[in-house]
């Protein structure tokens, strides 16, 4: 998009522009407000930039996703989730020694304070792992008091690393708790994704070997979900962060936002939807319900606020899905067939074409996680594990942003105008 000269309303000669290196720039609404007294009305913030960020760039029309300038396709092929985490946090891909130090340091942070075990007993056994994740991540703040002093970079960096390293342990224990199995402790010598599989599936007394194909597939899913600029959960993290709240509370807010079915809960919802449709012959009737606005049913895993053509992550996930099924020698999943047919029919339907609704990353991620044997209740929790890298990086960036102020949006008041209070006994019955 071009940068428009400040010639017409609401722009005047004195309106400043906030430049970008890629994608649209913005006019400075603060100067417009100062000159005209007008607020910008933008429900859902679809046209409002609230931050300048160097971390992730998305071009929704062209289907481009860059992290620190690197295309997601190249990152998916040539790096792993831990390298990407380093890139998001520090701006550059690690050298080999930096990578080794980072892995070793992160592995040391995986363990939880033993007292944290007690928290789990407070939850019902049928609790969704995301509820446990929200509560326990916030509770971590009571074990890391140093993180409250965010004036020191060492404290902020340490909190970011602790969060990224510990969330898999909490998520895996949340799962073990809900199925009544003993907690499995993290292993320092395992990679990030191997350790997740270990903590989810190992049992005391049973030797478990981790399938490297599975670990690579999990790693790729994590990599594809690591950051996505100012989405709802990252905005929640930044909003809470803008108040000066400690990083554990901020990430807990991100987890809460991610839980919603319109955001991170969509992969679980998409899988439920495939189950509900049941067979290819039911697809047309299901799509009729989706198109009927009164039904309140959406095609889960379809549509995206920013991507209006193709979600590059969806293409990579779809390819992974086929790879995993072939490599693991799994039988062709009838649900994958159903999903592909649903995608084909929807992509030819004018309802979806005219609204630029295409499969997003969640349309296929549930299927691949299912093929990998990941329990459905853990889908969104895995997304949270991945996104903690992005949230922590954005939180770190925000803490050094000179424009960072407490986020306090304005409103357009549409209620009653001035009126006088009538005392209770004088009000009509
Ligand atoms: N199924 C049916 N219709 C849809 C869908 C869908 N999945 N998504 C959007 N629409 C329709 C809307 O009803 C609306 O139609 P209208 O113009 O006739 O009123 C139009 O498309 C625009 O929709 P909005 O809700 O304005 O789009 P928005 O950008 O606000 O929402 C969202 C984006 C939330 C992702 C939406 O597409 C959706 O609910 N998708 C399903 C849930 C999903 O897959 N979420 C995952 C997102 S990706 C992620 O978080 C990793």
Atom of ligand 1 nearest to the CA of 232: 50
The rounded Å distance from CA 311 to ligand 1 centre is: 14
What is the token pair recorded at 117? Answer: 């075990």
Would you call 183 exposed, middle or buried from its count of C-beta atoms within 10 A (0-12, 13-18, 19+)?
middle
pLDDT of residue 8: 64
Cα separation, 84 vs 196, in Å, equals 17
pLDDT of residue 366: 85
pLDDT of residue 1: 45
The rounded Å distance from CA 54 to ligand 1 centre is: 27
Main-chain dihedrals φ then ψ at residue 79, nearest 5 degrees: -130, 180
Eight-class DSSP state of 4: P
The rounded Å distance from CA 282 to ligand 1 centre is: 22
Cα separation, 368 vs 216, in Å, equals 12
- pLDDT mean for each 10 residues of the chain (429 residues): 53 85 93 92 93 96 96 97 98 98 97 95 94 95 87 94 98 95 95 96 86 90 96 97 96 96 87 93 95 93 88 88 77 82 94 93 86 88 97 97 94 96 95
Q: What angle do helix axes 81-90 and 153-179 make, rounded to 10 degrees?
A: 150
What is the token pair recorded at 76? Answer: 């998916």
Handedness of CA 302, 128, 223, 231 (dihedral sign): positive
pLDDT of residue 136: 96
Handedness of CA 280, 281, 286, 287 (dihedral sign): positive
Cα separation, 147 vs 66, in Å, equals 30
Bridge-based pairing of strands 56-59 and 26-27 is unpaired
Tell me the average pLDDT of the chain.
Answer: 92
Eight-class DSSP state of 293: G
Q: For residues 218 and 193, is the Cβ–Cβ distance under 8 A?
A: yes
Q: What phi-psi label fits residue 19: left (phi over 0), alpha (psi between -120 and 50 degrees) or beta?
A: beta
Question: Closest Cα to residue 221, out of 198, 200, 193, 244?
Answer: 193
pLDDT of residue 2: 42
Cα–Cα distance list, 236 to 56, 87, 306, 363 (Å): 17, 22, 18, 24
Task: Confirm whether 349 is a catalytic residue.
Answer: no
pLDDT tens digits along 212-242: 888 999 999 999 999 999 999 999 999 999 9
Alpha carbon nearest to ligand 1 atom 21, residue = 355
Containing H/E element for 9?
Answer: none
Atom of ligand 1 nearest to the CA of 360: 48
First to last CA, the chain: 60
Bridge-based pairing of strands 70-71 and 64-67 is antiparallel
pLDDT of residue 321: 80
Pocket of ligand 1 (CB under 6 A): 44, 262-264, 266, 290, 298-305, 355, 357, 360-362
Main-chain dihedrals φ then ψ at residue 359, nearest 5 degrees: -60, 135
Q: For residues 173 and 149, is the Cβ–Cβ distance under 8 A?
A: no
Atom of ligand 1 nearest to the CA of 311: 48
Cα separation, 70 vs 66, in Å, equals 5
Q: Which of 219, 228, 304, 311 is catalytic?
A: 304
Alpha carbon nearest to ligand 1 atom 32, residue = 304
Q: For residues 382 and 171, is the Cβ–Cβ distance under 8 A?
A: yes
What is the token pair recorded at 243? Answer: 């108040």
pLDDT of residue 213: 84
């Amino acid at each position: 998009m071009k940068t428009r000269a400040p010639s017409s309303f609401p722009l005047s000669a004195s309106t400043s522009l906030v430049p970008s290196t890629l994608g649209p720039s913005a006019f400075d609404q603060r100067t417009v407000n100062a000159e005209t007294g007008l607020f910008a009305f933008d429900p859902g913030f679809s046209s409002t930039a609230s931050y300048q960020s160097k971390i992730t760039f998305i071009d929704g029309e062209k289907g481009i996703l860059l992290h620190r300038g690197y295309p997601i396709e190249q990152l998916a092929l040539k790096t792993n989730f831990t390298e990407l985490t380093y890139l998001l946090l520090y701006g550059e891909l690690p050298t080999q020694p930096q990578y080794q130090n980072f892995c070793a340091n992160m592995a040391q942070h995986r363990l939880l304070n033993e007292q944290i075990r007690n928290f789990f007993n407070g939850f019902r056994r049928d609790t969704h792992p995301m509820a446990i994740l929200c509560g326990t991540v916030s509770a971590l703040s009571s074990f890391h008091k140093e993180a409250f002093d965010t004036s020191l970079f060492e404290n902020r960096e340490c909190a970011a690393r602790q969060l990224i390293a510990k969330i898999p342990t909490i998520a895996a224990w949340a799962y073990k708790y809900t199925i009544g199995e003993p907690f499995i402790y993290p292993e320092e010598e395992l990679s990030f994704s191997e350790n997740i599989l270990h903590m989810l599936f190992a049992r005391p007394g049973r030797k478990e070997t981790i399938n490297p194909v599975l670990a690579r597939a999990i790693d790729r899913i994590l990599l594809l979900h690591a950051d996505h600029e100012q989405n709802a959960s990252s905005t929640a993290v930044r909003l809470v962060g803008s108040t000066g709240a400690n990083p554990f509370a901020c990430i807990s807010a991100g987890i809460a936002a991610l839980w919603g079915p319109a955001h991170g809960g969509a992969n679980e919802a998409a899988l439920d939807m495939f189950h509900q449709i049941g067979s290819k012959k039911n697809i047309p009737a299901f799509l009729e319900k989706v198109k009927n606005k009164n039904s309140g049913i959406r095609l889960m895993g379809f549509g995206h606020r920013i991507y209006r053509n193709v979600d590059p992550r969806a293409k990579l996930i779809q390819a992974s899905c086929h790879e995993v099924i072939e490599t693991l020698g799994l039988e062709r999943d009838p649900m994958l067939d159903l999903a592909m047919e649903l995608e084909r029919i929807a992509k030819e339907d004018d309802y979806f074409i005219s609204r630029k609704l295409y499969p997003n990353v969640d349309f296929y991620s549930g299927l691949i996680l299912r093929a990998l044997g990941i329990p459905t209740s853990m889908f969104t929790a895995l997304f949270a594990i991945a996104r903690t890298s992005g949230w922590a990086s954005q939180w770190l960036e925000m803490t050094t942003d000179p424009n960072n102020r407490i986020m306090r949006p304005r409103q357009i008041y549409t209620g009653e105008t001035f009126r006088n209070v009538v005392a209770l006994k004088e009000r009509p019955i």
